[in-house]
Structure 1
Amino acid sequence: MSLIDLALKIEEFSVISFDFFDTLFIRKLEEPESVFDLVGEKFKIDQFRALRKRAQQLAFVEMHNKNKKEISLDDIYNNFHELDEDKKHAVKAYELQLELDVICPNQEMIPVFLKAIELGKKVVITSDMYLTSHYFKESLSKYNLPQVPLFISADCDATKRDFGDIFDIVKNEMKVVAEQILHIGDNQLADVDKAQSKGLSAYHYQADSITQRKNVPISESIVNGLTDSRINSFSNGSGEQFAYQYGGPTLIGFSQWLKKITINDKIDALLYLARDGYMIKKYSDRSCKDDVSGPVEVYFKGSRTSFILSSINDTNFNEYIPYFLSGAYELSAHELLERIGVVPPAQHLLHALGFAENKAIKEISYDNIYNLLNSMKKDILKVCRANRRGLHQLLIDLNLPDNANIGLVDVGWKGTTQEAFENAIKPFFNYKVFGYYFCLISNTSSTKKSMLDSTTVGEETINKVYENRVAFELLFSAPHETIIGHVLSNEKVKFIEDERQDKARSFFAPLEKGMSEFFDIYDNLTFKIHHLPEDNVLIKPFVDYAISGMWKQNKYILTMQNFDAWSATKNKTFSPGQYI
């Protein structure tokens, strides 16, 4: 039975009973016992998880000795003999607060809960838990959900899991026969078998997105729990869902690494290069909004193209002809010029010279292309000079010291953007330039640092990341087209975008929304639990997904065509998976 069918099914019953944990509410942790790890971390108690579980076992022994059927949190801490009374009180209070902090409504089940109330059904919550009804009232209140009758094992001294006695209490308190009750829960034994043994109807809720492994490291538990807790709130296969699940964690992991790695280099200005640095800068603005001691940070609308153009002059022009032709095999002659911001001759003139609009560069002799570029040399150099002036002004506007340390933030691969930037500014500035990258496929420079390289994850993984680099570039992007120039206009720098493309904004908007939502939830939770997951754990889900090649079948990614602006052409359409 689907959730849609369930919403219809509830009309047949007088009382609708919901399990609480992993049904009506879910934790933002993959493993519930990760709460114990967080408590131990807060109070610096070694082996707290084991001690806490032992206290719970002793509470069960005491329960049986007293002929009771359930324990409470008080019972557990009364058997926590390793703590003195003051510490018991503080630790117990913190555990209870954490249990409130880590839960959130299950976006799949809450609509069913509210629908049942709307239909006038008697809605109750029935839960096996050592926490008392006060906790459940607080949970509902926290998310502005209606208060309903609570049947909690710690209060009722009866459970679902053992003999199903709590269902008898529900039946008697609600004054209905068992056949008029539908119970909804995730546990086959407690929520289905025991409910049915008492004559109730039962719906076995199974959430595909929720995983609960045992003994999970705390960082993994947080990252996976945050993903699982919200993934079903997005349309399946949407850009928001993809970005929330993979983009948010990846960008935060890289940002956390970046903050640590830049400290030792005493960076004066951190330039987040377009478009790769857009979301990293956006997250940095959130996480460092109160930090005035760090470097100047700007989203720097410069690119490998604009930096290379800034480096070209009359003397070295011929050396850059291979660059002009790189990745151009499917382009027409006018596209070859347009992608560097040069206005091409009228198409009828190009056509007369043998450069038809639908004729690709690969079909034209090298000599003819070489002659075309040389005939356009004056126009190309004019664009190069304009870019050089614009770049100079951008750096002057930063008001940096003469010997400043500048950091460039980029997704990476070979570090050629950094080299182009250094070449472009060398005649004018004495800055030392550092590059900070998500991944470099090779590196022998002390001024280039990457989160992933062969020394951290091995050469095989690096090669696989590079083979699937488009997947990463889709996340490390921005809601604007590729920057191909920065020129002075009325004493201000104007940024030139590749006008041949017009899809970046609409494609990236859902990705930005999904990542921003993850940023919100991540910051809120980590602030409350006082724990930041490890950087490598945050990026691992997407690295694994990307190198598996599964991204090439992602429904949302498949909607993007001609993502790589440098090689984009009207003559041929490329899907992201075709870029190798």
Structure 2
Amino acid sequence: MGFNEYYSLSALLKDGHKRQPHLKVVSFDLFDTLVIRRLHDPDLVKKPVARYISELALSLGIRITAREVQQLRDMIESRHRQETGKCFDDQEACYPKFMSELLQIVTGESQTDDLLARVTRFELGMEQQMIIPRMEIVNWLRELAAEGKRVLVVSDIYLPSDHLKTLVRRAGFLDSVEEVISSADTFLAKASGKAYQYIADKFELDRTGWLHVGDNPISDGLRPTEFGIEAMVLKDAAERRRKSIVKRYINYSKGMPFWRGRALQQLMLPHEGENREQPALYREGYSFLAPIIGGFLQHIAERCLEQSITKIFFLSREGYTFKKFWEKAIPSLYPQGGLPEIEYLYVSRMALASASCSNQGLTKTNARIAFLPKGNRDFNDICRIFKLKGEGFLPHLEKYNLQPDDCLSFQHSGYDPEIEQRFFKMLEDAEFQAEVKGQTRSSGQAMLRYFEDVGFFEHNNIALVDIGWLGTIQRFLYEAVCHRSDKPRLFGFLLGATRGIEFPSDQNNMLEGVIYDKFKFDIAGSTVLYARDLFEEACRAPHPTLNGYKLTENGYELEFRQEDDDIGRAEQKQDKYFAPLQRGLIDAAPRYGAASAILGYNMSDYKPWLNYLMVSKLAFPKSCEIAKIRHKYHLDDFHGKHTPELTGKARRSRTLWDYPLFHLKYNPLLRVRLFMRHIYDRICE
């Protein structure tokens, strides 16, 4: 009796369905048959496990490198296989036995049950992240079980059957399987053929009507046929090609950093049943934004451990999505623990602007920040942003010969430097500042009560994570709390830091741009400036923006912007439009964590590839990509309703993502010209 080989899954299933009526028992190989691995080499899963054991040992005061752990594991496993070979035909090993010995040697302890459970849980978690059910075969398995066939899963591997059942359960088809059999339990493997005799005896199986399906010509083909069992061997050419691509990218990444990000993306890709048709925006969130956000957050995790940061507050509405991504991705990279606590903090520029004035008043710098948006023009806009009642300032305006509607922004007609100087002189007036502090005191007190409730002042070192760009939120926040003796040190991390206004950095208030920072010359990273609204809209929380903090008799109240007006409805429409993009971003998060853990790289390793992604997607995108991705409506409560004159400089500031679709399609040099201008602007900064 021979066995048949099949070079495609469809051919195997076609023949399997023909044989199905006379079958009584069907046994399946597990790996590369019922499930495939994202990796080309299953031993790569051992690398993050070795790093995990090294970190666990360090927590016990024992210094041993991950490389040394891996070498020790390989030596112990090899010795166990040699000892097994003295009594059995198959040189198999059993994971709990050799891993327990490894942990005893590393820790010097005789009882390592707790450590073994933790390491096992982590390794199985990594294995589970790296395997994908082959849904066509799994569906056939379920069909066989539904017809009353006896279905078994058989594997030659060092993981015992209990561990394999965990993987099969997570793969979703354990309920259709009678039993899962592993060579690690009996040291009787398919490779020698002994497993088939053992299975026949244990389950009282007749060889007639028994079919075995696998991928190894010896273990799953020759040996079962020698035992009198029908066999089908899958030699999937497409799967071999996919593995060769993974192998190539991982091998390239060892010597060329550019390919490390590409290897990351390859390991993140959906396969088999995961690979379903999705909207274009979903794919952009999954393939473009997820690696960037993942690298951003992984870098923050590293910096937090370096700086002994014990709490992370994710700020503004974008922080909501950052926190969700963190929860699904970052713990996989740090299974040993030690990561800071995380919390979403309800803040916004509008809410903090008023609170920042409660102790220091209105500073000249903050007034200038208010006029950065082109829609802001006069003192009325100052009052709107900092929540001041204009009538209370009329005597002060009159004192300095000012009117509430005098133009204070050079971007508008009617601007007079003399008027601006009188305004700045008013800011130096103690009576004016006393009025500012009096009007904003309740807002500042309400904000502090909220911060106390969330434990803001219970930590010495705190990370503030925000999208960017000027660090205005962190500036206002620090100014609102810096008068307190229990203020923590603030480490700000922005996706991109444009630093258009000098940031008040000191030992208690630091700011770092991760993907882009103006202080670090990075042309590729600076392409995030092409479409800043895209990153904000993609990561925006589902709740309306926070307008302010209100002091109440019982404490405080968070005041959110109403959504029942035209602007609110437009924002809801925008959220609905970008929902697939955000869903793709979050779906990719656990795969980022697992893939990065396998590779052992960090954001600096991925940066060359991320730079390539950003330049190609933001500076040289296809017209259809811009049409799909760019925002339809972007709310900025900081921005007033005034319209400045379009001077030559204002026209020149238009970016690629602002151009009409017609220009994007039919102006072939537009992208090159704008990119050269972008480079020039960065050089001149």
TM-score range, shorter chain: 0.5 to 0.7
Instruction: Output the CA distance in 2 between the equivalents of 1:84 and 1:463.
Output: 50
Asked if the contact 1:304–1:420 (Cα under 8 Å) also holds between the matched residues in 2, the reply is: no
Contact 1:184-1:203 within 8 A present in 2 as well:
no
Check conservation: 2:491, 2:511, Cα contact below 8 A.
yes
1:103, distance to aligned residue in structure 2 (A): 3.2
Please name the residue that 1:128 is paired with: 156
Where do 1:211-250 residues align within 5 Å?
211=246, 213=250, 227=268, 233=274, 235-237=276-278, 246=290, 249-250=294-295
The alpha-carbon deviation at position 547 of structure 1 amounts to 2.2
Paired with 2:369 and 2:626, the residues of 1 have a C-alpha distance of 37
Q: Which residue of structure 1 lines up, in the alignment, with residue 31 of structure 2?
A: 21
* Deviation, structure 1 residue 411: 1.9
Counterpart of 2:446 in 1: which secondary structure?
helix
Q: Does 199-208 or 498-507 show the bigger shift?
A: 199-208
CA distance in 2, matches of 1:32, 1:102: 11
Q: Equivalent residue of 1:549, what SS?
A: helix
1:145 aligns to 2:175 (yes or no): yes
Structure 1 pair 82–429 and aligned structure 2 pair: CA distance change class (3 A): closer
Query: Match of 2:525?
Result: 462
- The aligned residue for residue 497 of structure 2 is 440
Instruction: Decide whether the 8 Å contact of 1:123 with 1:149 is kept in 2.
Output: yes
Do 2:100 and 2:112's aligned partners in 1 also have CA atoms closer than 8 Å? no
Find the partner of 1:549 among 595, 599, 616: 616
Q: What does 1:375-394 align with in structure 2 at a 5 Å threshold?
A: 390=443, 393-394=446-447
Letter in 2 for 1:147: V
- How far off is 1:325 after superposition? 1.7
Q: Is the 8 A contact 2:349 2:476 kept in 1?
A: no
For 1:557 and 1:23, the matched residues in 2 are separated by 42
Mapped partners of 1:456, 1:169: distance in 2: 68
User: Is 1:412 paired with 2:432?
Assistant: no
1:478 alignment partner, one of 524, 527, 541:
541
Partner of residue 561 from structure 1, selected from 631, 640, 646: 631
Aligned residues: 524
Alpha carbons 2:246, 2:263 under 8 Å: kept:
no
The within-5 A match list for 1:312-331 is 323-325=372-374
- Give the counterpart letter for 1:48 in structure 2: V
Shift of 1:79: 13
Task: Report the equivalent of 1:206.
Answer: 239
SS across alignment from 2:151: strand
Change (3 A) 1:71 1:429: closer
Matches within 5 A, 1:54-453: 54-56=75-77, 68=89, 70-74=90-94, 99-104=123-128, 106-109=132-135, 110-133=138-161, 135-137=163-165, 139-140=167-168, 144-148=174-178, 155=186, 157=188, 159=190, 175-176=207-208, 181=211, 183-185=213-215, 200=232, 202=234, 204=236, 206=239, 211=246, 213=250, 227=268, 233=274, 235-237=276-278, 246=290, 249-250=294-295, 252-253=297-298, 256-257=301-302, 259-260=304-305, 263=308, 272-281=314-323, 299-303=345-349, 307=353, 323-325=372-374, 367=413, 390=443, 393-395=446-448, 397-399=450-452, 408-419=464-475, 434=490, 436-438=492-494, 439-440=496-497, 445-446=505-506, 447-450=509-512, 452=514
For the Cα contact (< 8 Å) 1:59–1:76, is it kept in 2? no
The answer to whether the 8 A contact 2:77-2:98 is kept is no
Name whichever of 21-30 and 410-419 sits farther off: 21-30
TM-score by structure 1 length? 0.60
Structure 1 residue aligned with 2:435:
none
**Among the aligned pairs, what percent are the same residue?**
17
Q: Go from structure 1 to structure 2 and tell me whether the alpha carbon gap of 1:32 and 1:492 turns closer, same or farther (over 3 Å shift).
A: same
Give, in angstroms, the shift of residue 274 of structure 1. Answer: 1.5
Question: Is the partner of 1:325 in helix, strand or coil?
Answer: coil
Distance 1:97 1:4 in 2: 35
Residues 458, 75 of structure 1: alpha-carbon distance in 2 compared, 3 angstrom cutoff: same
- In 1, Cα distance between equivalents of 2:110 and 2:42: 20
**Distance of aligned partners of 1:202 and 1:436 in 2 relative to their CA distance in 1, 3 Å threshold:** same
SS at match of 1:412: coil
Query: 1:503 and 1:226, CA in 2 relative to 1: closer, same or farther beyond 3 A?
Result: farther
3-state SS of paired residue (1:274): coil
Deviation for aligned residue 1:72: 1.4
SS at match of 2:465: strand
Which of 470, 491, 496 in structure 1 is aligned with 2:561? Answer: 496
**Alpha-carbon deviation of 1:436?**
0.9
Given the superposition, is the C-alpha separation of residues 2 and 241 from structure 1 closer, same or farther in structure 2, using an over 3 Å criterion? farther
From the superposition, tell whether residues 50 and 233 of structure 1 become closer, same or farther in structure 2 (CA, over 3 Å).
Answer: same
Comparing 91-100 with 409-418, greater Cα deviation is found at 91-100
CA distance in 1, matches of 2:126, 2:462: 40
Aligned residue identity for 1:148? E
Equivalent AA in structure 1 for residue 298 of structure 2: G
Distance 1:182 1:48 in 2: 38
**Per the alignment, in what secondary structure is the counterpart of residue 572 of structure 2?**
coil
- Gap change, CA 1:146 and 1:544, over 3 Å in 2: farther
User: Partner residue of 1:12?
Assistant: 18
Deviations 1:539-578, CA, capped at 9 Å, x for gaps: 7699457425348679899366326434999xxxx99965
TM-score, with length taken from structure 2: 0.53
2:176, 2:518 → 1: CA distance? 54
- Give the structure with the larger helix fraction: 2
- Mapped partners of 1:88, 1:222: distance in 2: 40
Partner deviation per Cα, 1:362-383 (whole Å, 9 max, x = no partner): xxx953899xxx9xxxxxxxxx
- On the 8 A contact 2:214/2:220 being kept in 1, the answer is yes
Q: In 2, distance between residues paired with 1:17 and 1:194?
A: 13
User: What letter is aligned with 2:157?
Assistant: M
Code of the aligned partner of 1:411: I
CA-atom RMSD in angstroms: 6.9
- CA distance in 2 between counterparts of 1:434 and 1:241 reads 35
For 2:73 and 2:316, the matched residues in 1 are separated by 50
> 2:576 matched to which residue of 1?
506
Look up the match of 1:52.
73
Kindly indicate whether the alpha-carbon contact (under 8 Å) linking 1:17 and 1:182 is maintained by their aligned counterparts in 2.
yes
Assess, with a 3 A threshold, how the Cα gap between structure 1 residues 116 and 317 changes in structure 2: closer, same or farther. same
Partner of 2:671: none
The range that moved more, 428-437 or 404-413, is 428-437
- Seen in structure 2, the aligned counterparts of structure 1 residues 19 and 547 have a Cα distance that, compared at 3 Å, is farther
Q: Is the CA contact (8 Å cut-off) linking 1:422 and 1:433 kept in structure 2?
A: no
Which ranges in structure 1 are unaligned for 5 or more consecutive residues? 329-335, 343-364, 375-384
- Judged with a 3 Å threshold, the aligned counterparts in structure 2 of structure 1 residues 327 and 119 are, in CA distance, closer, same or farther, namely farther
Residue type at the aligned position of 1:325: K
- AA at the equivalent of 1:299: L
Alpha-carbon deviation of 1:410? 1.3
SS of the residue 1:463 aligns to: helix
Q: Is the 8 A contact 2:319 2:465 kept in 1?
A: yes
- C-alpha distance 252-396 of structure 1, shift in aligned 2 (>3 A): same
1:323 maps to amino acid: L
